[in-house]
Amino acid sequence: MKTIIEPFKIKSVEPIRFSTKEERIKILENAGYNPFLVKADDVLIDLLTDSGTSAMSAKQWAGIMDGDESYAGSRSFYRFEEMVKKITGDKFIIPTHQGRAAEKILFFIVGSEGKFIPNNTHFDTTRANIEFTGTEAVDLLVEVGKHPEQRADFKGNMDVEALEKFIKEKGPENIPLVMITVTNNSGGGQPVSMQNIKDVKQVCQKYKLPLFLDACRFAENAYFIKKREKGYSDKSILSICQEMFSYADGATMSAKKDALVNIGGFLSLNDDELAMKCRNLLIVTEGFPTYGGLAGRDLEAVAQGLEEVMDEHYLQYRIRSTEYLGEKMMDAGIPIIEPPGGHAIYIDAKRFLPNIPPQHFPGQSIVCEIYIDGGVRGVEIGSVMFGKYNKLTGELIPPPMELVRLAIPRRVYTQSHIDYVAEVIIETYKKRNELKGYEIIYEAPMLRHFTARFKPMK
Ligand SMILES: *Cc1c(COP(=O)(O)O)cnc(C)c1O
């Protein structure tokens, strides 16, 4: 087989500012050893997130010029609405400024104290918006998804048995809806199978519960179904997406992922009454229903992006480039979540640095070192981000995994950029015995990972 090439030519370029290792040591020290506090201009390859970091196409930029900025009934809204309806098959499409705004509206209406919303794994903004209403957000991931070293085709699946048990235990009247996140972002970008969506739907039907998709990476999920699930290899990506959404009663979407834009989102719904309530709230918090917190030009770019993201050459390149980075790292013996997911590679920091305990933040140590070694920015997803403290003893209660996520922006980096990233991380891995742990010298009361400051241990 020949090399899978980037399925685009580059029309506009953005220079990378180079820095030396000595400069980066200083920069990181000034940033309190927290890459979130490093200026983006001081980063060579930025793998902090794949959210809102996509490169738009010439056609999307043309759409930006062509956008209709009418307050009500904008032509761009109707193009956007038609495109989203084509994919989801839903009756009501409500634009929002990003994914969490769609979540906020939906959960504000369906959530309240004493209720529960199950998911394969809730993304952090989803969990936060659910918990804000007093509802409990519950993760019901299949067992294999919890083991980084175990390989399976669909490690993002929901545990269907656990779901039914949970519904019986809590009572269907206390569960306003069930969610599935495709692909499972917090669980390593692992896909969910069509069979699993169907099985979950069946349980939902039995108890008359609506099923919603957190659809941020719906196209990447569809590509995995096409490649890995029996009966789908000859189907088009569009038809696989349509089938996925056909089992759902609605969806929340961050267009900053699989709509290939820098801002945007939507809520897609079938129920007349729920849609009316959502629209009424939208008018209070986002805007009129035909723009909902976005400009007409944004809606135009989303519509075009949704079309481009389902192109099979694009998805082949997309999924392969993530896998390519994962393979290079595995070949060098670096422990990662296997198999590589759709949008990111997750380094298993516990196995990378077995001598640094969670209390000294092994993930943070890796994140700092790869920045110093090569100007590569990743993010710690472990005790810094999710660690809690025992209120009596003050001891850290670490989360189950210590990870470093390297998220790949869409259409931004070429194969040589990715080769460079692999070289940097392999270099760091070779001297892993010299890496030091960190301690926190400042932390905010909530979401501390964004602003915490650290000090390397002696
Ligand atoms: C990004 C993301 C969201 C939230 O979307 P924003 O546009 O960042 O508000 C929700 N769910 C998942 C799975 C995501 O990846």
Show the CA angle centred on residue 288, arms to residues 287 and 294, nearest 5°. Answer: 55
Which two three-digit tokens encode residue 429? 């891995």
pLDDT digits (tens, 9 = 90+) for 63-109: 999 999 999 999 999 999 999 999 999 999 999 999 999 999 999 99
pLDDT of 65 reads 97
List residues bridging with 377 in a β-sheet.
Answer: 46
Q: Which residues of the chain have pLDDT under 50?
A: none
The pLDDT value given to residue 246 = 98
Q: What is the dihedral of CA 439, 445, 451, 457, to 10 degrees?
A: 0
Query: By alpha-carbon position, which residue is closest to atom 12 of ligand 1?
Result: 123
Establish whether residue 210 lines the binding site of ligand 1, counting it when its CB lies within 6 angstroms of any ligand atom.
Answer: no
Decide: 192 in ligand 1 pocket, CB within 6 A: no
- Picking from 224, 280, 274, 282, the residue whose alpha carbon sits closest to that of residue 251 is 274
For a mutational test of ligand 1's pocket, the pick from 50, 100, 139, i.e. the residue with the most ligand atoms closer than 8 A to its C-beta, is: 100
Nearest to 227 by CA among 153, 156, 155, 157: 153
Task: Tell me which amino acid residue 57 is.
Answer: S
Buried b (16+ CB within 10 A) or exposed e, 139-169: bbbbeebeebeeebbbbbbbbbebbbebbee
3-class SS at 155? Answer: coil
Distances in whole angstroms, Cα of residue 172 to Cα of each of 179, 232, 275: 14, 33, 21
**Ligand 1: does its nearest atom lie under 6 Å from the Cβ of 179?**
no
pLDDT of residue 371: 98
Exposure of 360 in the CB half-sphere (CA atoms within 13 A) = 13
In the chain, what are the domains?
A: 21-50+311-456 (3.90.1150.10), 58-308 (3.40.640.10)
CA–centroid distance, 5 to ligand 1, in Å, is 28
Please tell me the predicted confidence (pLDDT) of residue 451: 87
Which is the closest atom of ligand 1 to the Cα of 102? 9
Please indicate whether residue 220, judged by its CB atom, sits closer than 6 Å to ligand 1.
Answer: no
Q: Is 118's C-beta closer than 6 angstroms to any atom of ligand 1?
A: no
- In single-letter form, the type of residue at position 225 comes to I
Residues 269, 252: Cα–Cα separation, whole Å: 9
Residue 114 and residue 92: Cα distance in Å, rounded? 28
Residue nearest to atom 5 of ligand 1 (CA): 99
- Judged by DSSP in three states, 278 sits in helix
pLDDT at 301: 98
- CB neighbours of residue 219 within 10 Å: 30
Give the relative orientation of helices 99-110 and 272-285 as an angle to the nearest 10 degrees. Answer: 120
- 455: tokens are 């000090």
Question: What's residue 38's pLDDT?
Answer: 97
Query: Is 67 a pocket residue for ligand 1 (Cβ < 6 Å)?
Result: no
pLDDT reported for residue 446: 72
